[in-house]
Structures are given as C-alpha cells and as structure tokens.
Structure 1
Amino acid sequence: MQKRIRIAAFVLAAAATLLGCSAEADQVTDKLKATLQARLGSDTDIKGITKSPVAGLYEVNLGSQIIYSDANGDYVLIGDLVDTKTRRNLTDARLSDLNRIDFASLPFANAVKVVKGNGSRKIAVFSDPNCPYCHQLENTLKSIDNVTVYTFLYPVLSADSTVKAKSIWCSSDRAKAWESWMLNRQAPSAAGTCNTAAIDSNLALGAKINVTGTPTVILADGRRLPGAVSADRLERELGEAH
C-alpha cells in the first residue's frame, strides 16, 4: 500500500511539474506575442507562437509565413531554418503542417478535373492561367502518371487572367481547354457565356486558406507545396501523402 501511495504521489508531482512548465511557457509566449504585436503593428496577424528547435528561438506563425524571434521580441529573423544534418527545410515543413487542410472538404465541383492513368493519386492545384510557374508545373505534370488533378482556377495576376479563366471554365471541354492553353498556348475560346460563380468562390476559398501564390499544390493529406515543384519532389510527396 505504501508503495502505491509513493507511486501515486510521484505521478501527481510529475503532472504538477508539467503543468507548471506549460503555464510558464504560455506566459512567455503570451508576453512575446503582445510585444511583437505592438512592435510589428496591427497589420501583422500573429496566429501563434511556439518554441523552435533552436534553443532561445521562437517560431512566430503569421499564417502565410513563419518568422523567428528571441524570447524578448527584440530581434526577428526572416528566412528559412534548415537542418544541416538532413538538409531539410524545417520552415517549409512546419508551414505546410500549420496550413494543412481537409482535402476532402475542397469544393471539387469548382475545379477543372484532369485524370492521368488510373487517377488513383489525387492533388489539387490553385493556378493562374497567366502564371509562368503554373505553366512550368503543367509541363512537370506531363511526366506524372496515375494522378487526378483538380485545378482551381485562381486568376490573381491580372484582368486578363480573369478573362482567360472564365473562357476556360465556359468551354465545352474544360480539361482540354486548360491543357491546350497551359501546354500549347492555344487561347481558349468559350462556347458562350456561362455561370462563372465558381471562379469567385475559388478566390474567396484561396484567401480563406492562405493561398498567397500560384501555383499552390495541395496533397491528399492536406499538406501544400508552394511553387513549381520538380517531378522528383512531387513523386516523393505523392508517395508520402497516400
């Protein structure tokens, strides 16, 4: 009985210690958040602060970006944190995890659907028809097989991007019109006017989930890959996501 009492007391003491550490950490991050918010201005939306893998350095989540700060908020670092042993970009990985979404909840009816091979693997892409990196990604996708690509037309670069997006959406074969333009520069010619509310919905959705650039690839596990990723990386990430 005495042994059980001693064990129970140890567990309670350990729990109290952990709670104390958590409370202390909350006080540090809360104070740091208040300091940075005051110094960086009300236009900066600080979504959260936590310890980074580097002692004394705190990760500051701005939604579309991660920056780093000392405990007092006197200095900030803007850039990528890289693990030199593995050469892994910890900032990109962390940002992708923080911005993970529920892939199944995406409104696929508002996307241009292209099926390659058996289509067993799935990705979503937010893409602007006039974005050169989006054209580069489309060329990369030619070498990726057995994937279903849901392209959410996301015309953010210019008024002409909106015109082209609407023409593609109103085409009788949206997938063909999209690929003809992105791969061969064959301008889309819509069969006529149609309801383009889906494009407005895409713009609202992108703003809601922090899509700040094109192309943005979203994997089936909800992680995102910004920019025109290489075929090798995309294959690797597709394998991890399924």
Structure 2
Amino acid sequence: MDPQALKTAISTRLGIPVYMVDQTPIAGLYMLGTSKGVLYSDAKGDYVLQGVMLDMTRDMKNLTISGMRSQRRLGLSQVAHTPRVLKARNERHRVALFIGEQDAARRQLPSTLQHLQASGVSIEIYPVIDHAERAADWCSDPLLQNDPFKAYLPQKECSETLIQNIGLSQWLGVKVLPAWVSSDGDLVRGYQSPEQLLKILDLIDAPANPSSSAS
C-alpha cells in the first residue's frame, strides 16, 4: 500500500484533505485522518467507511477515538511555526488552545488564561479565522491593530501562520471554537472556566477506567 497514492485517491474523490494514513487491526483496512474526521478505506481508496471501530478483545476499546488522539498528537508535533506559549512555572498540564475572533474578544479570556497559567497549565495559543483569504487583511489592516485578536498573532509570517492554523484545526477535528487539545490528544470543546478545565485535565491524566473505554 502506497500511503501517498491513497491520500491522493481519497482527496481527489471526496474533495477533502487527507493528513494521515495508518494501519488498523483489520488486514487491508486503513484509517485516514481527514478534515472531516476519521474515515476507513481499502488500500486503493475504492471503498470508504465512516463509523466507530471497537476492539472487542480489549474491553471494547474505541480505536476510532484512540486514532483521533494519535492524529492530534501528530498534528501538534508537526506545527511548522512556533505558537505563542503561556508557560506555567510549575507545569501540571499542557494544552493547545484554538481561539477565533469572537473568543479573543471575551473579557474573561485574559484572566482565564492567567488563572490557568498560575495553576500549572501551560497554554499554546493558535488563532483561527473562518477564511484563509482574510489572513493578509488581519495581519496588515491598520484598523485591526487594536483588536483583541491581534494580541495572539505573531508579528512575523503572520498570514502564513493563520493559514497553517486553519489547516491544523481541521486536521485535529476542531469544529467548535474555542477548543482545547490536551498533550494526550483529547479534545475539549467550548469555553471552559479555569476550574472546569483543571478538573477535565486532571480526569484525562488519571488512570484509565477499562469499563469506560467505549464511551
């Protein structure tokens, strides 16, 4: 099986980017990481499946969710630019935060990030806009210099960073902003108070409960 040929075949036929190809426990069936989520395909891309794969030999482990976690970890590890990072002094957790224009305007966002940072959470910030065509405007329009969103944009390679963040958010399955991605690849959707997010991150890092692996 040629991974690049399979990526090309699926991208051409479905009109969506394919970021990753990985094997599954089923011979001849491959997991595809796409901008529309996880798909499964044969080696040539002639047959495509969408759904959840469970490993019945391992307490119904959800292999689709595991695949998405791996996909998110891989995506964040391959970021070409250096995101803005709020580094916690005594780091307990590390998360990637994807924020949109309206999220940046939230009055409580700066205090939320400061609270998380003081509580041991390091935060990588990835600004995301709706359309790549607007990237150059966001970076160069003088009327936007005082916009809260501007504070999270880099000064160098600004428009390139915004465009990359759009593709990265699609790869990671981010469909609702803001979104938080843990270092383990778990996705937390929507605005979270510092207390809520800390509880979620502590739960994610806790030892797995085999009985809940299919949820």
Report the TM-score when normalising by structure 2. 0.53
* Residue aligning to 2:213: none
Q: Within the alignment, does 1:215 sit opposite 2:165 as a pair?
A: no
Partner of 2:148: helix, strand, or coil? helix
> 2-side partners of 1:202 and 1:69: how far apart?
31
Distance 1:167 1:150, change over 3 A: same
Deviation for aligned residue 1:146: 1.9
Report the CA distance between 1:167 and its aligned residue.
1.5
Report the secondary structure of 2:98's partner residue: strand
Distance 1:72 1:220, change over 3 A: closer
In structure 2, the residue corresponding to 1:236 is in which secondary structure? Answer: helix
Distance in 1, Cα, partners of 2:49 & 2:77: 31
1:83 CA drift (Å):
4.1
Look up the match of 2:187: 225
Query: Between Structure 1 and Structure 2, whose CA radius of gyration is higher?
Result: 1
Decide which of 11, 17, 29 is 1:58's aligned counterpart: 29
Q: How does 1:1-242 map to 2 (within 5 A)?
A: 26=1, 33=6, 37=9, 41=13, 43-46=15-18, 49-53=21-25, 55=26, 58-64=29-35, 65-70=37-42, 75-83=47-55, 86=59, 88-99=61-72, 100=74, 101-102=76-77, 107-108=82-83, 111=84, 113=86, 115=88, 118-130=90-102, 145-156=119-130, 167-168=147-148, 200-207=159-166, 210-212=168-170, 213=174, 214-220=177-183, 223=185, 225=187, 227-228=189-190, 231=197, 232-238=199-205
Runs of 5+ unmatched residues, structure 1: 1-25, 179-193
> Aligned partners of 2:125 and 2:71: how far apart in 1?
22
Partner Cα separation in structure 1 for residue 19 and residue 79 of structure 2? 24
Name the SS for the 2:147 alignment partner: helix
The higher-RCO structure (CA 8 Å, 6+ apart) is: 2
Q: Structure 1 98/122 Cα, relative in aligned 2: closer, same or farther at 3 Å?
A: closer
Q: Contact conserved, 2:93 with 2:201, CA < 8 A, in 1?
A: no
In structure 2, what residue type is equivalent to 1:93? S
CA shift, 1:107, in A, is 1.5
Is the Cα–Cα contact under 8 Å of residues 219 and 238 in structure 1 kept in the other structure? no
SS at match of 1:234: helix
C-alpha separation in 1, matches of 2:124 and 2:6: 38
Question: How many Å apart are 1:150 and its aligned residue?
Answer: 3.0
CA deviation vs aligned residue, 1:47-87 (integer Å, no higher than 9, x gap): 5544423x356124244332123567554221232446645
Cα distance per residue 1:71-126 (max 9 Å; x no partner): 67554221232446645432132133134133897524xx37375x8444322212
RMSD: 5.0
Unaligned runs of 5+ in 2: 208-215
Q: Which amino acid aligns with 2:180?
A: V
Compute the TM-score of the two structures, normalised by the length of structure 1: 0.49
Structure 1 residues 225 and 155, CA gap change in structure 2 (3 angstroms): same
- Paired residues in the alignment total 181
Determine the C-alpha separation between the residues in 1 that align with 2:45 and 2:206.
40
Rounded Cα–Cα distance in structure 2 between residues aligned with 1:38 and 1:120: 40
Whether the 8 Å contact between 1:153 and 1:199 is mirrored in structure 2 is no
